[in-house]
C-alpha cells in the first residue's frame, strides 16, 4: 500500500469508525437515561416499601428498624427467605468473602490499596526466595540456555519472543519469513509469512468531539499447521518445542520449493 492508497484507506476507515462510534454513543446515552429512570422509580418504590414496614415504630427502635430493613430488602422473608433466581433485588452475601463485604477492596482508600499491594509484594518476594523457588528458577535458566545453544546452530532462525502457558506463544523468523505459534487449552496453530497489516487505534476525542486516531498495525499470517498438545515431536522443553516449530516451517518451505520446480 503506497502513501496515496494509505491516505484513501485511512480517510474511509476513520469515517466508518466515527459513524459506528457516534451510533454507539447514542445508544449508550439512551441506555443511561433509561437506567436513571429505573433507578428513580426503584428508589421511590423502596422508600414506600420501607415506610410501610416502619409504620408504627419510633426512632428509638433503631436496631429493630434496621432488622426490618434487612429482612425486607435482603432476605425477602415474605417469600419464605428463598434465594432469588433472577437477581432483581439486593441480597445478603453467601460467604464471608471480604468480611461479608465490609472490607471489600472496592471501598479501600488509596493508602489501604498501597499497603495491601506492598504486603502482597513482600509475600511474593519471600516465596521466590525459598529453596524450591530458587531450584525452579535454576532449572528454568538451564532450559533457556539449552534453547539458546540450539538456536546458535540455526543461523537462519530468529526467535524474538517465547513463553507463557495460556497461551504459549512463539514469534520469530526463518530465512527472514516471520512465524507465529500459539497453544491454548491443548490446541496449537502455526502461522507463517506473518506481515503487519495497517489499522487505526482510537485515542479519544478532540475539543470538537471528533475522534482522534493514530496509525497502528496488527500481525496476520497464513496458518500452515495445527494440532493437539502432546502430538509426536511436540516435546516438553523450550528446545524441543523450538525444534518442533522450526521443523514444521522447514518442511513447509521444502514443499514450496518442490511445488515451484514442478
Beta carbons within 8 Å of 127's beta carbon, 6+ residues apart: 133
pLDDT band per the 50, 70, 90 thresholds, residue 75 = low
pLDDT tens-place string over residues 182-223: 999 999 999 999 999 999 999 999 998 999 999 999 999 999
Cα 139 to chain center, whole Å?
29
Q: How far apart are the C-alpha atoms of 155 and 173, rounded to whole Å? A: 11
> Given a cut of 70, is residue 10 above it in pLDDT?
yes
> Given a cut of 90, is residue 179 above it in pLDDT?
yes
pLDDT tens-place string over residues 86-110: 767 777 777 889 988 888 888 888 9
Q: How far apart are the C-alpha atoms of 66 and 143, rounded to whole Å? A: 62
pLDDT band per the 50, 70, 90 thresholds, residue 13 = very high
Q: Sign of torsion, CA 240 244 245 251?
A: positive
Provide the 3-class DSSP secondary structure of residue 187: strand
C-alpha atoms less than 13 angstroms from C-alpha of 52 in its C-beta half-sphere:
7
- The C-alpha cell at 173 is 523468523
- Cβ atoms of residues 211 and 21 within 8 Å: yes
Q: How far apart are the C-alpha atoms of 172 and 162, rounded to whole Å? A: 9
Least confident of 69-73, 77-81, 121-125, 257-261: 77-81
- The C-alpha cell at 2 is 503506497
- The C-alpha cell at 158 is 530468529
Question: Which candidate, 244, 141, 226, 145, places its Cα nearest to that of 189?
Answer: 226
What is the per-residue pLDDT for 79? 53
Helix ranges restricted to H, 55-109: 62-70
- Cβ atoms of residues 74 and 91 within 8 Å: yes
pLDDT tens-place string over residues 227-241: 999 999 999 999 999
Span 43-58, average pLDDT: 82
Distances (CA, A) of 140 to 146, 147, 169: 10, 11, 17
Beta carbons within 8 Å of 202's beta carbon, 6+ residues apart: 17, 21, 211, 212, 213
The domain locations on the chain are: 3-55, 155-261
Cα 92 to chain center, whole Å?
29
pLDDT band per the 50, 70, 90 thresholds, residue 84 = low
Give the rounded percent of residues in the chain with a pLDDT score beyond 90: 61
Sheet holding 211-228, edge to edge: 157-163, 168-174, 177-184, 187-205, 211-228
> Given a cut of 80, is residue 161 above it in pLDDT?
yes
Strand 187-205 and strand 211-228: pairing?
Answer: antiparallel
> Given a cut of 60, is residue 78 above it in pLDDT?
no
Q: How far apart are the C-alpha atoms of 119 and 154, rounded to whole Å? A: 45
Please tell me what DSSP assigns to residue 165: S
Cα 108 to chain center, whole Å?
24
> Given a cut of 70, is residue 77 above it in pLDDT?
no
> Given a cut of 80, is residue 132 above it in pLDDT?
yes
What is the per-residue pLDDT for 100? 85
Average pLDDT along the chain: 89
Give the rounded percent of residues in the chain with a pLDDT score beyond 70: 95
Amino acid at each position: 500500500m503506497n502513501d496515496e492508497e494509505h491516505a484513501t484507506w485511512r480517510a474511509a476507515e476513520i469515517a466508518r469508525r466515527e459513524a459506528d462510534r457516534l451510533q454507539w454513543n447514542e445508544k449508550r446515552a439512551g441506555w443511561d437515561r433509561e437506567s436513571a429512570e429505573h433507578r428513580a422509580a426503584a428508589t421511590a418504590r423502596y422508600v414506600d416499601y420501607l415506610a410501610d414496614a416502619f409504620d408504627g415504630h419510633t426512632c428509638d427502635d433503631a436496631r429493630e428498624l434496621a432488622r426490618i430493613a434487612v429482612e425486607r430488602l435482603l432476605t425477602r422473608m415474605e417469600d419464605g427467605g428463598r434465594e432469588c433466581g433472577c437477581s432483581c433485588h439486593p441480597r445478603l452475601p453467601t460467604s464471608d468473602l471480604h468480611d461479608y463485604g465490609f472490607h471489600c477492596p472496592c471501598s479501600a482508600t488509596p493508602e489501604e490499596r498501597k499497603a495491601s499491594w506492598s504486603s502482597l509484594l513482600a509475600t511474593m518476594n519471600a516465596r521466590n526466595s525459598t529453596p524450591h523457588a530458587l531450584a525452579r528458577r535454576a532449572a528454568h535458566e538451564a532450559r533457556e540456555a539449552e534453547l539458546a545453544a540450539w538456536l546458535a546452530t540455526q543461523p537462519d532462525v530468529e526467535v524474538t519472543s517465547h513463553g507463557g502457558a495460556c497461551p504459549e506463544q512463539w514469534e520469530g523468523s526463518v530465512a527472514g519469513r516471520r512465524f507465529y505459534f500459539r497453544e491454548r487449552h491443548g490446541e496449537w496453530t502455526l502461522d507463517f509469512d506473518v506481515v503487519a497489516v495497517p489499522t487505526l487505534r482510537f485515542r479519544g476525542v478532540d475539543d470538537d468531539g471528533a475522534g482522534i486516531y493514530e496509525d497502528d498495525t496488527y500481525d496476520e499470517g497464513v496458518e500452515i499447521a495445527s494440532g493437539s498438545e502432546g502430538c509426536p515431536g511436540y516435546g516438553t522443553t523450550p528446545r524441543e518445542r523450538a525444534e518442533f516449530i522450526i521443523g514444521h516451517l522447514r518442511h513447509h518451505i521444502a514443499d514450496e520449493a518442490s511445488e515451484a520446480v514442478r
